[in-house]
Structure 1
Amino acid sequence: MRDFVILGSSIVNPPPNPSSQPRHTIKPHNSSLSKLPSLSPRKNSTTLLQTPLILKQFETVLHDAVDSDLNAELLANAVLMGIKGRNFRIVIDSLNKLQGIGNGISLSTQFDESAMSVIAKECSFMVTSGHIQESVELMEVLSRYQLSIGELVQPSDIIKRCVLNRKPNLAVRYASLLPQAHILFCSIISGFGKSRDLVSALKAYDAMKKNLKRPNMYIYRAIIDVCGLCGDFMKSRYIYEDLLNQKITPNIYVFNSLMNANAHDISYTLNLYQNMQKVGLKPDMTSYNILLKACCVAGRVDLAQDMYKELKHLESIGQLKLDVFTYSTIIKVFADAKLWQMALKIKHDMLLAGVSLNTVAWSSLINACAHAGLVEQAIQLFEEMLLSGCEPNTQCFNIILHACVEGCQYDRAFRFFYSWKGNKTLVSFGESHNSNAEEGGMDSVTTTVPKGISSSHIMSFTERFPFKPTTSTYNTLLKACGTNYYHAKALINEMKTVGLSPNQISWSILINICGGSENVEGAIEILRTMIDAGVKPDVVAYTTAIKVCVESKNFTKALTLYEEMKSYETQPNLVTYNTLLRARSKYGSLREVQQCLAIYQDMRKAGYKPNDYYLEELIEEWCEGVIQDNEEYEVEFSSSKKPEIERPESLLLEKIAAHLLKRVADILAIDVQGLSKVEARLVILAVLRMIKENYAFGHSVNDDILIIIGATKADESPAKEILEVQEAVIKLLRNELGLEALPAKTRFAPSDSPKLQNTKENALPTTMVFHTRRPAVLQRLKVTKQSLHRWLQRRVSVK
């Protein structure tokens, strides 16, 4: 057995015995080489001197180089021994020292086939062991000595390692050494693109541009494709603009890649289509397919129809031939728009043109009918797909199940699922089975078999196409469980058995099923189980659980979940806010109003537009509770009597929230500026309702309350709107509530801050003017604390 000696970080194989191994063509013939010690290993000895031996060889070579007498055989021998001993760094450094002196030497003439095989083996070892940096450096230095490095290692192996280690510049350095560099450049960019590493792909692209003597459309197309694959369409546009700035005209393939990367922006895609024609390029079938894809993404059915007509015309005059991708895309456009009849017409055109439908086309047709609620039509298309020999994928099966569930044919969905899963078919897809109709509250469904479809044919076709359920499959079936929690739980367990993990949608559906049976505790428990399973509840899961609590009249638990989701940094959506705000039909306490107002303010801050009218009605009902015992006074300004369309948009709820979210001791002024008389009434009643409830808990009012009606300029009469609001407020306070309301004025300069002080003075003297500009005058009313105490005591006694 051969001995292996570890020298530093290298594993060294002792050289073979010359008598037992084939010799290479290097023969020592000079005095320098003849002075080298023997390389044959002795029995029971080690090769500790191998590294010093190689160093000695390279010292001799370097000495000869200084004397301008570099010997090719000696250099080849040293290189071979260094590579065989895996002293790669010594070889690299030594050959680099000879740069400029030995560049004319060709090592390829010094190595026979056996030596090249040894070098290739050791270079492959370098690559597979992860020494990619040294591998490329060795290739570079060997190429300078005219050694054919393309035969040493598979270029794809080095490129894969560079991609894996995110070394774009190193990959470009290696590719530049080979004659097929332009092809390898595309492979490098594509490799980083498949890894979704756009940054490295762009670095490689920039490095490649320095090695290009003329524009390379393959590379431009590859980097644009990677931009589209990584979802950075703006980078693709920058590359396109850079080409235009360099006066480089892209070819049709670059334009197609650019349109495909920007297919989500139909206006930009159409602009590229026009630019393509301006530079004299004729769009091909790929160009039109990408345009149809852009129409599909944008939902532009009208544009897709016009383009389809144009394509049919071009096909009629023989300029192009529509392919399966064209038909499939236009079918998907109509299917997504739920225009199933037009989608079926395209299918007819497709068959007349002799183009067979592919899986995408069949799936889109089935999906179009399923979305339209045409369960029988969808199943018939599925059977036609099987008869045509087209292999359905799992998505096709899922679409059929979804169609059954949307059509409330739950029993049928389960029968299809278990027959497909077991590679067994029923007598016919259309046959009615009632045996499972009573399970889980599912209704039986009677259907008919489409004419001309043989049950035996369907069975034979279906058995050829295995069905592998996905998480989406089970999520669809969970919806078919209705309110049967135990059936749904069994499906969750079955998912785990087949190796699938329930996702957020699965848990949300299960929570909703608990809500259907008013099982609040079960819904909360599922939410906790979801977290324990390592699945972070999303906004849908939390909103579903909140909805269950709201429908069960457990608003406290709903608020707890709302605060919990915010603590987990899960942002509520519009459905979440509306579910909470609509949870109450009336308010019973100040705390409930404060809770809803806080949710309302969160909703506004999040950028959602709440239904102010609905919330105002509830608050109005709560506010009017302070005068519900004063039946002798007619409520004249009821905001609920005014239609929603006629109500002015105002800061009513913000005004109410600003007062009600404060402590009662902080309420020294009620600001109704800018509000209508109806809205001013609600704000004042809301504050009084808060004061009343807090008074019952021992909080008293220790000062007068000022009501700010509006501001006017000095020496000018108040505006008509201000007078109307003031009159309405006085009537409310005096006539309906029996409070003492007195007029009060104050004067301040425009530069002063209108901060209200807790003083007993009603107004500043009109002579106290200290500013050159005219001050403003606040129109105010004062509700005395004595009348407030009498009113509160009266209300308590009535209560």
Structure 2
Amino acid sequence: MRDFVILGSSIVTPPNPSSPSHHNPHIKPYKSSLPKFSSSAKQSSPLSSFSSSSLSTATNPYHKIPLKHYIHLASKLVQDANFQDLEMVVQAVLDSGVNASQFAPAFSAELLANGIRVGIRAGRLRAVIDTLKKVQELGISLSAGFDGSAAHLLGKDCCRIVMRGQLEEAVELMEVLSRFQLSIRELVQPSDMIKRCVHNRKPNLAVRYACLLPHAQILFCTIISEFGRMRDLTSALRAYEASKKYLTGPNMYIYRAIIDACGLCGDYQKSRYIYEDLLNQKINPNIYVFNSLMNVNAHDLNYTLNLYNNMQNLGLKPDLTSYNILLKACCVAGRVDFAQEIYKEVKHLESVGVLKLDVFTYSTMIKVFADAKLWQMALKIKQDMLSAGVSPNTVAWSSLINACAHAGLVEQAIQLFEEMLLAGCEPNTQCFNIILHACVEAYQYDRAFRFFQSWKGNKMLQPINGGPSINLEQRDSQSAPTGPNGISYSHILSFAERFPFTPTTTTYNILLKACGTDYYHAKALIKEMKILGLTPNHISWSTLIDICGASGNVEGALEILKTMRDAGIEPDVVSYTTAIKVCVENKNFEQALSLYEEMKRYKVRPNLVTYTTLLRARTKYGSLHEVQQCLAIYQDMRKSGYKATDYYLQGLIEEWCEGVIQDDRQNQGEFTCSSKSELERPQSIILEKIAAHLQKRVADILAIDVQGLTKVEARLVILAVLRMIKENYGLGRSVNNDILIIIGATKADTTPAKHISGVQDAIAKLLQDELGLEVIPARTRFAQDDTVKFENHAILNPNLEAMPGKDISPTSVQFKTRRPAVLQRLKVTKKSLHHWLKRKVSSNR
């Protein structure tokens, strides 16, 4: 039991002397019963050392204290909002044996309610909560204290707690108040409380609050959906798991909410786990859960179709949403044929009155055909749509316009745009951008700028290219352009002015492409973007770099790259590749290589276009250094996972290698067009072989490995090394050793394979006949493990060893031998190589 002492007599009013208890000789006056204490005693708690256990003992003089004294003391503490001491008094009442059922009706609920509000406003929220938990044990009702205006004031107090961010305390307080049968819903707006819990990433707290309200299941869905919109799937799953503890049975609304949250967060795999978990629990999802699953997994047509079949196997009939999602999956997968089958089926269901197709069905079908560039079929869907009395929405019109724009039908796209305006459908910025893009793709740059300026509104517009001002209010309708079909565009311009058009960064990116090579025009567009509050993105800067480079201004292009970084936008692979292309087109290969190295320093990974641009930059190689540069890029490309399909690079390597033979071109019959077909093998490793040798700048010890290469490939590798030696010799680097050419390994006492023999003959012919070098065989024997089995022989070869664990018998003996193998090699003597190099140097002079 806890001990506590009433230290402050001033907080307790003495009993009235006229009361019967005052004259009772067996009960001492209440004031005189208080213990004496020194003025220096600790004042932290007025009731810190009075023993509550003494109240319940027969020897304690306080055990017969009247109930009204407890009530009077508790009331005084409530008035002073002294909840810490009030909690002790309540505990004393519970421990004293006093009839608590008589205490509760006598205690003022209004007084307690007022004290609770005072304590909350004073910031003693924790003390209020702890005291209410004790008061609840006495059976005191607060409903009378919190009716009408009092409940309204309590709600304001709770809102202030929530606004201060004390969500944990607010929920705990409402949990305690709910035990007093008070309505919690009126205290705080549920939607506001849920949003704050979601914003603070407190899923369990949100679920605890939802459980206090009668519509908890609806709030569970709201909590999960809100976390999904915030892309916080972890918290959504926690709320989902926590909510399941309060559910008495399967709740399809919650299942659908968590699956939709998986879709919003882009984790389709988690939605599949949830679906499998439901099946393992023998829970059959309803049509709405299946639709959500199909929608989240619409990117995977096969999985979507499996869900569709499972849904039918469970006896669920697909609704219009199911078919719309299937069409969406077909659109994503590009399956026009399957989409047509579904569309045919739903049209049949509509004809028999089962379904009524909506605008989403038609819009999705239009998009299917638009993405496939089947603009005529897309227009046919529009006719079906109008025949069914369904008005196309903005998405449908945008898809139709886009279909014609992609097909290069600018006039048709503009006519559809005019029909859209006449139908009263308000276009969005995407529709305007599609029209502009169609004009740019058709090289109708003037028309694109004319539309853009007209759509910006009826005001004086100063053309970006510095031309005369255009007053749209005073423009002559007779000067409006007309198309080849006689379509007047004054109508479309006047209609377009009724609708708001806000240019976006995409709009200006399209217009930048319409600038062609006019760098100053493009630069003015960038400036106009900034004036409108738009930030140029990577596409904007990359396009500006390309335009600047097209005018031959390499330094300006590089300066734009620097300006881009200064503006806080780190150049991406497209920006760097564009700048590299500018350098290459202006024959500045060294600067292109410098940008390539800068990309790697900034950890920007080159793409295939980057590598291709660099590798095709040269038309010929003048030195070993240039070849090594390109081969290093080639090796980086291979390491990055891109396939080596650059036959242009291979051709340059071949030309450079053949450069060691300057005068005797007629003897190169081995290297004919028909022989080049061997180089086009998918598994050709010629460039890797050449790179491996040419990356070694020191030629003191030379060993050329041509194992596994064809005759033509081996020829190129050897010529590449010889050219390297020649260039190094010209720089003063002499050859100190013979050249060893490794051709392949054969078994001892056997004839070399036909392939090895052919390569060896071709190499010998190249070195001796064409280059005049001395070539001699250099065979090397080496041991190779080989197992030989002798049957029906009793003679044992002393060079053979018995296999471990095997008995040697006259009929079957198995031995392990180390039979010698021969490594076929050719050696080019150092002496002949010196003579050849001297001839080359003298001939160059």
Fold agreement, TM-score > 0.5: yes
How far apart, in 2, do the equivalents of 1:381 and 1:745 lie?
A: 80
> What pairs with 1:744-783 in structure 2 (closer than 5 Å)?
744-750=778-784, 772-783=817-828
SS at match of 1:637: coil
Structure 2 residue aligned with 1:624? 658
One-letter amino acid matched to 2:667: E
Is residue 2:785 matched to residue 1:785? Answer: no
Is residue 2:96 matched to residue 1:59? Answer: no
Structure 1 residue aligned with 2:741? 707
How far apart, in 2, do the equivalents of 1:132 and 1:641 lie?
A: 81
2:187 to 123, 145, 152: 152
One-letter amino acid matched to 1:687: V
Deviation at 1:86, TM superposition (A): 3.1
How far apart, in 2, do the equivalents of 1:391 and 1:787 lie?
A: 85
Is residue 2:477 matched to residue 1:448? Answer: no
SS at match of 2:825: strand
- Which has the larger displacement, 145-154 or 327-336? 145-154
2:143 to 108, 111, 115: 108
One-letter amino acid matched to 1:638: F
1:578 to 612, 628, 632: 612
Q: Verify the 8 A CA contact 2:480 2:488 in the aligned structure 1.
A: no
- Which has the larger displacement, 445-454 or 519-528? 445-454
Deviation at 1:519, TM superposition (A): 1.4
How far apart, in 2, do the equivalents of 1:115 and 1:33 lie?
A: 22
| Structure 1 residues 486 and 527, CA gap change in structure 2 (3 angstroms) | same
- Which has the larger displacement, 64-73 or 155-164? 64-73
How far apart, in 1, do the equivalents of 2:758 and 2:416 lie?
A: 70
Q: Verify the 8 A CA contact 2:615 2:649 in the aligned structure 1.
A: yes
Is residue 2:118 matched to residue 1:89? Answer: no
Structure 1 residue aligned with 2:7? none
Deviations 1:430-463 (A, max 9, x none): xxxx9999xxxxxx9964286687945x455323
Q: Verify the 8 A CA contact 1:332 1:364 in the aligned structure 2.
A: yes
Deviation at 1:109, TM superposition (A): 3.2
| Structure 1 residues 697 and 685, CA gap change in structure 2 (3 angstroms) | same
Deviations 1:264-309 (A, max 9, x none): 0000001101111100101011111111000111111111111111
Is residue 2:200 matched to residue 1:168? Answer: no
Structure 1 residue aligned with 2:47? none
Deviation at 1:646, TM superposition (A): 7.5
SS at match of 1:225: helix
| Structure 1 residues 701 and 360, CA gap change in structure 2 (3 angstroms) | same
SS at match of 1:777: strand
Q: Verify the 8 A CA contact 2:554 2:582 in the aligned structure 1.
A: yes
Is residue 2:174 matched to residue 1:129? Answer: no
Q: Verify the 8 A CA contact 1:265 1:294 in the aligned structure 2.
A: yes
Structure 2 residue aligned with 1:30? 68
**RMSD of Structure 2 on Structure 1 (CA):** 2.7
Structure 1 residue aligned with 2:48? none
Q: Verify the 8 A CA contact 2:460 2:469 in the aligned structure 1.
A: no
1:219 to 219, 242, 254: 254
Deviation at 1:515, TM superposition (A): 2.0
One-letter amino acid matched to 1:65: L
How far apart, in 1, do the equivalents of 2:647 and 2:141 lie?
A: 89
How far apart, in 1, do the equivalents of 2:749 and 2:669 lie?
A: 33
Deviation at 1:91, TM superposition (A): 1.5
How far apart, in 2, do the equivalents of 1:677 and 1:327 lie?
A: 63
> What pairs with 1:728-747 in structure 2 (closer than 5 Å)?
728-747=762-781
Structure 1 residue aligned with 2:476? none
| Structure 1 residues 217 and 387, CA gap change in structure 2 (3 angstroms) | same
1:305 to 325, 328, 340: 340
Deviation at 1:425, TM superposition (A): 12
- Which has the larger displacement, 774-783 or 403-412? 774-783
SS at match of 1:706: strand
SS at match of 2:819: coil
Deviation at 1:634, TM superposition (A): 1.0
How far apart, in 1, do the equivalents of 2:341 and 2:78 lie?
A: 82
Structure 1 residue aligned with 2:642? 608
Deviations 1:21-64 (A, max 9, x none): xxxxxxxx9323434696999xxxxxxxx56x232222222222
- Which has the larger displacement, 730-739 or 229-238? 730-739
How far apart, in 1, do the equivalents of 2:800 and 2:734 lie?
A: 37
> What pairs with 1:337-356 in structure 2 (closer than 5 Å)?
337-356=372-391
How far apart, in 2, do the equivalents of 1:423 and 1:645 lie?
A: 68
Q: How many residues align?
A: 733
> What pairs with 1:486-497 in structure 2 (closer than 5 Å)?
486-497=520-531
| Structure 1 residues 169 and 715, CA gap change in structure 2 (3 angstroms) | same
How far apart, in 2, do the equivalents of 1:36 and 1:98 lie?
A: 11
Structure 1 residue aligned with 2:53? none
Deviations 1:752-785 (A, max 9, x none): 9xxxxxxxxxxxxxx9999923232110001111
Deviation at 1:114, TM superposition (A): 2.7
How far apart, in 2, do the equivalents of 1:640 and 1:449 lie?
A: 52
Deviation at 1:146, TM superposition (A): 1.9
- Which has the larger displacement, 76-85 or 495-504? 76-85
Deviation at 1:147, TM superposition (A): 1.9
How far apart, in 1, do the equivalents of 2:599 and 2:174 lie?
A: 57
Structure 2 residue aligned with 1:636? 669
Deviation at 1:492, TM superposition (A): 0.2
How far apart, in 1, do the equivalents of 2:414 and 2:660 lie?
A: 63
SS at match of 2:744: strand
How far apart, in 2, do the equivalents of 1:269 and 1:302 lie?
A: 16
- Which has the larger displacement, 415-424 or 71-80? 71-80
Q: Verify the 8 A CA contact 1:425 1:459 in the aligned structure 2.
A: no
> What pairs with 1:520-539 in structure 2 (closer than 5 Å)?
520-539=554-573
| Structure 1 residues 266 and 436, CA gap change in structure 2 (3 angstroms) | farther
| Structure 1 residues 449 and 641, CA gap change in structure 2 (3 angstroms) | closer
| Structure 1 residues 445 and 616, CA gap change in structure 2 (3 angstroms) | farther
Structure 2 residue aligned with 1:473? 507
| Structure 1 residues 544 and 454, CA gap change in structure 2 (3 angstroms) | closer
SS at match of 1:30: helix
Deviations 1:486-541 (A, max 9, x none): 00000000000000000000001111111211211111111111111111111111
Deviations 1:732-760 (A, max 9, x none): 111111111110111112369xxxxxxxx
| Structure 1 residues 435 and 637, CA gap change in structure 2 (3 angstroms) | farther
Deviation at 1:609, TM superposition (A): 1.0
Structure 2 residue aligned with 1:15? none
Q: Verify the 8 A CA contact 1:664 1:691 in the aligned structure 2.
A: no
Deviation at 1:611, TM superposition (A): 2.0
> What pairs with 1:277-292 in structure 2 (closer than 5 Å)?
277-292=312-327
Q: State the identity %.
A: 70
How far apart, in 2, do the equivalents of 1:743 and 1:644 lie?
A: 29
One-letter amino acid matched to 1:778: L
Q: Verify the 8 A CA contact 1:745 1:779 in the aligned structure 2.
A: yes
Q: Verify the 8 A CA contact 2:549 2:582 in the aligned structure 1.
A: yes
SS at match of 1:151: coil
Deviation at 1:423, TM superposition (A): 4.3
> What pairs with 1:370-769 in structure 2 (closer than 5 Å)?
370-423=405-458, 447-448=482-483, 455=490, 458=492, 461-631=495-665, 634-638=667-671, 640-642=673-675, 644=677, 647-648=680-681, 649-665=683-699, 667-750=701-784
Structure 2 residue aligned with 1:429? none
SS at match of 2:778: strand
How far apart, in 1, do the equivalents of 2:171 and 2:96 lie?
A: 30
| Structure 1 residues 502 and 768, CA gap change in structure 2 (3 angstroms) | farther
Task: Give unpaired runs (5+ residues) of structure 1.
Answer: 1-7, 9-28, 42-49, 427-433, 438-443, 753-766
| Structure 1 residues 37 and 185, CA gap change in structure 2 (3 angstroms) | closer
How far apart, in 2, do the equivalents of 1:211 and 1:37 lie?
A: 38
Q: Verify the 8 A CA contact 1:143 1:149 in the aligned structure 2.
A: yes
How far apart, in 2, do the equivalents of 1:644 and 1:492 lie?
A: 51
Deviation at 1:714, TM superposition (A): 1.5
Structure 1 residue aligned with 2:58? none
Task: Give unpaired runs (5+ residues) of structure 2.
Answer: 1-43, 45-66, 462-466, 471-478, 787-797, 802-815
Structure 1 residue aligned with 2:330? 295
